[in-house]
Amino acid sequence: MEQQHIILSQDLEKELTEIVAQCSPDRIFVLADTTTERLCAPRLRDIEAISDAPHIIIGATDTYKNLDTLSQVWTALGEGGASRHSLLINLGGGMVTDLGGFAASTFKRGITYVNIPTTLLSMVDASVGGKTGINFNGLKNEIGVFNSAHTVILDTEFLRTLDHENVCSGYAEMLKHGLISNRKNWSELINFDLDEVDYKHLQDMVATSVAIKERVVTEDPLEKGIRKALNLGHTVGHAFESLALRTNRPVLHGYAVAWGLICELYLSAVKTGFPHDVLYQAVRFIRENYGRFDIDCKQYPEIIELMTHDKKNTAGIINFTLLGDIGDIRINQTADRKEIEEALDFFREG
């Protein structure tokens, strides 16, 4: 998998114009959801290099990250005369970049695509690393491929369009990056005020967070080893997210990850010696900024069953990424049912 080019944007028009010239596409398409078409697409309208590009508009939120929407995008590309030499620009959050990347990767056996993430979550997570896909059969990201974007443009001006909840959602992935990095980064993250966002400071933090992920992905592009570090919080988090969808109370991805971090840091404290003071530091920050996800012990079997579908698992054994300390990554860890239930108890009571 080729390494993608990541640009921390200073001049969106200049950068997009140069990318179009490099790709020399026969046709250009812009994919956006209903929210980003309204709030973010106007910034692209006056860029001459893409001013004639038709916009493919899909529904917003993760509920549209499915086969029907994917088919809608394929159909629009086909009816618009797209060829293997066309370019798809994905303008939006993680749902748009994931689904758009998968659509581009599979249409005509693959066309070039560029990601312009517009949410904090998609900037620090979804748009970097070459993962594409859709939800299927009630499971997150069940169908997809590894295929990097030609370029990812990170323009933090788009973050001003976000509500508080979506800032928090993306910030959860930054918390994870801090935990797998170093104490200095972690300290900066938990002392940042999410209620009064300093966007200039946040831009620098985004650059740091993306660099952490990029370093890991470059070392292990196909998730055979250390890239599993990026799954910290996600084994439980994805199960929470799937349960929320099943029970018609969908939650933002980052909130589920933040809650998953509580459970997996607890397992880290029990199984690999993670410091208790940092565990409770994390719990306090997450409780204050992400609230709670209500579960009861009767749902434990369903939550654990959902964990068995995680793509990191081998032969049905639930696989966790845990930590011995901040930056001390322990991949391919396991926990038995009793330990997982204790982690869920801690989550409910902590």
pTM of the model: 0.86
Top CATH class of 5-161 equals alpha beta
Residue 96 contacts residue 33 (beta carbons within 8 Å)? yes
Residue 256 contacts residue 237 (beta carbons within 8 Å)? yes
Q: Among all chains, which residue has been given the structure tokens 């170093």?
A: 182
pLDDT for res 1:
55
pLDDT for res 4:
76
Q: What is residue 181's three-state secondary structure? A: coil
Q: What is residue 194's three-state secondary structure? A: coil
What phi, psi does 56 have (nearest 5°)? -95, 115
Task: Using CB atoms within 10 Å of the CB of residue 71, give its burial: 0 to 12 exposed, 13 to 18 middle, 19+ buried.
Answer: exposed
Measured between alpha carbons, how far is 129 from 267 in angstroms, rounded to an integer?
27
Quick one: which of 289, 274, 277, 297 has its CA closest to 346?
297
Rg (CA), the chain: 20
Measured between alpha carbons, how far is 238 from 248 in angstroms, rounded to an integer?
15
The two structure tokens encoding residue 84:
């293997």
**pLDDT per 10-residue tile (average), the chain, 350 residues:** 79 96 97 97 94 97 94 98 98 95 98 96 84 91 94 93 95 98 97 94 92 89 87 96 92 96 98 98 98 96 92 79 97 95 95
pLDDT for res 196:
94
Q: What is residue 323's three-state secondary structure? A: strand
What phi, psi does 113 have (nearest 5°)? -140, 155
CATH-assigned architecture of domain 164-349:
Up-down Bundle (1.20)
pLDDT for res 222:
78
pLDDT for res 158:
94
Residue 229 one-letter amino acid: A
Task: Using CB atoms within 10 Å of the CB of residue 13, give its burial: 0 to 12 exposed, 13 to 18 middle, 19+ buried.
Answer: middle
Sorted by where each begins, the domain ranges of the chain are: 5-161, 164-349
- Kindly report the number of other CB atoms within 10 A of residue 199's CB atom: 12
